Amino acid sequence: MAFKFNILKPFAFLNNIDKKGQKPQFEALKIFKYIGPGLLVTVGFIDPGNWASNIAAGASYGYELLWMVTLSTIMLIVLQHNVAHLGIATGLCLSEAATLYTPKIVSKTILTTAVFASVSTSLAEILGGAIALNMLFKIPIPAGALMVMIFVVVMLFTNSYKLIEKIIVGFVSVIGISFIYELSLVDIDWAAAGISWVTPSIPEGSIMIIMSVLGAVVMPHNLFLHSEVIQSRQWNLEDEKVIKKQLDYEFFDTLFSMIVGWAINSAMILLAASTFFTAGIQVNELEQAHSLLTPLVGKSAGVIFASALLFAGIASTITSAMAGGSIFAGIFSEPYDIKDNHSRIGIGISLIAAYVIILFTGNPFKALIISQMILSIQLPFTIFLQIYLTSSKKVMGKYANTKFTAAVLLFFGLIVATLNILLFISFFK
């Protein structure tokens, strides 16, 4: 039961007739009550770090690295679905479960690196928002970063989770619509793109970009976040029927949200490939991408690009801060709660440390790329921790992973570890 991909089950209302045989029970409409946690995770992998990685990939290698978005998204669906099961079946987030079920030296080591990963994520998110403000209003990066951080803190400390969730869904919609519009302005070689989506290719010198794309999509802090926010629906964990129903709804939410993320990430590479790569232009900063889009595809494109980046930066900073709070609170065996001091400290560490680093950052675009690469380095530790916990009957009971599921998760973990080894080797070439 722990890992059944039955996307059709939530649509069982088609066969449900009331006792009088007159009309169907539209239970599938309940799905829309449960869409939200997945989109919070999605905003984390359409963040400014992704923008930098994807634009660099498209501008430097055309369509060739689209396969990495596909592979990363497949991995993400499996991993996020699995970690959401942990939250539903146990009522614990990944950080809490690690503290409770692994030796202290293991949990504290991995969770400490996860906190650093959250800082690295927040750095990219805040920096992206600041770059967007600079594009739109010429606000200096340090001042823009401070504005983004203050806005996010106000959002987190004064609004309920439900309102934040709705705002995030709105932001994702704006970002998606923006890229649909921008793609309509350029000529895409869909045949070449279709091949590249499913054909692995590692062009010379591309390993750092590949790793940054991987780290930007399969982000470790998002695994912690999903296991936490999936509990926002306050399900009755004592009722087995309720658990099973929520597992099915959760998979629809995860699948739908991850496909949205795949489409937006792909759109970034397609846009960069069809404009910068075909024109032979190397992009070394997001401001450059913004200014170059105007003469290539029209005046409105640059403004829409910057506006969407601002929405992405704000939304993803909110989720990275929540993840930092969840991870830090879990170290003390506590759930995320904005009224709890440990959650607040975790948020503070994530945001303030990121801001301080930004003040000493000389090249914002390179900082975005490196931040995503750091995430991919930490990722195997989080994945292997997740596999251990979700495969344990002590932790999950009868919802523990099957051998097949554990093998698939382990395979993905080994892929990430192998790519990290290739990255390490590349530094000595």
Q: Give the CA dihedral 214, 219, 223, 228, nearest 10 degrees.
A: -150
**pLDDT tier, 30 (very low <50, low <70, confident <90, very high otherwise):** low
- What single DSSP character describes residue 313? H
Helix, strand, coil proportions of the chain in percent (round to 5)? 80, 0, 20
pLDDT of residue 166: 78
Q: CATH number, domain at 368?
A: 1.20.1730.10
pLDDT at residue 25 above 70?
A: no
For residue 78, the one-letter residue type is: V
Tell me, yes or no, whether 388 lies in a domain: no
Radius of gyration of the chain (CA): 21
Q: Considering its fold, how many domains does the chain have in total?
A: 1
pLDDT, tens only, 92-139 = 999 999 999 999 999 999 999 999 989 988 998 898 899 899 989 999
Q: What confidence tier does 22 reach under pLDDT thresholds 50, 70, 90? A: very low
Residue 231 lies in a domain: yes
pLDDT band at residue 226 using 50, 70 and 90 as cut-offs: confident
pLDDT-based confidence at residue 14 (cuts at 50, 70, 90): very low
- C-alpha span between 79 and 415 (Å, rounded): 13
CA distance 342 to 338: 9
Residue 21 domain flag:
no
Enclosing domain of residue 87: 51-377
> What are 337-378's pLDDT values in tens digits?
999 999 999 999 999 999 999 998 877 767 777 776 777 788
pLDDT at 424: 63
- The encoded tokens of residue 262 equal 């795949």
Q: Strand, coil or helix: what is 44?
A: helix
Mean pLDDT of 256-281: 90
In a domain, 17, yes or no: no
* Bridge partners of residue 24, in order along the sequence: 17
- Do the domain assignments include residue 132? yes
Q: How far apart are CA 171 and CA 177, in angstroms?
A: 10
Q: Is 8 inside any structural domain?
A: no
The predicted structure's pLDDT at residue 5: 41
**Domain-embedded: residue 408:** no
- Say yes or no to pLDDT of 10 above 50: no
**Rounded (5°) CA angle 167-169-175:** 105
Whether the CB-CB separation of 334 and 340 falls below 8 Å is answered with: yes
Q: Tell me, rounded to whole angstroms, the distance of Cα 66 from its chain centroid.
A: 17
What is residue 3's predicted lDDT score, i.e. its pLDDT? Answer: 43
State how far the Cα of 293 lies from the Cα of 100, in Å rounded to an integer: 51
pLDDT tens digits along 132-189: 999 899 999 999 999 999 999 998 988 766 777 778 778 888 888 888 888 888 899 9
381 vs 405: CA distance, rounded Å = 18
pLDDT at 302: 81
- Asked whether residue 304 is assigned to any structural domain, the reply reads yes
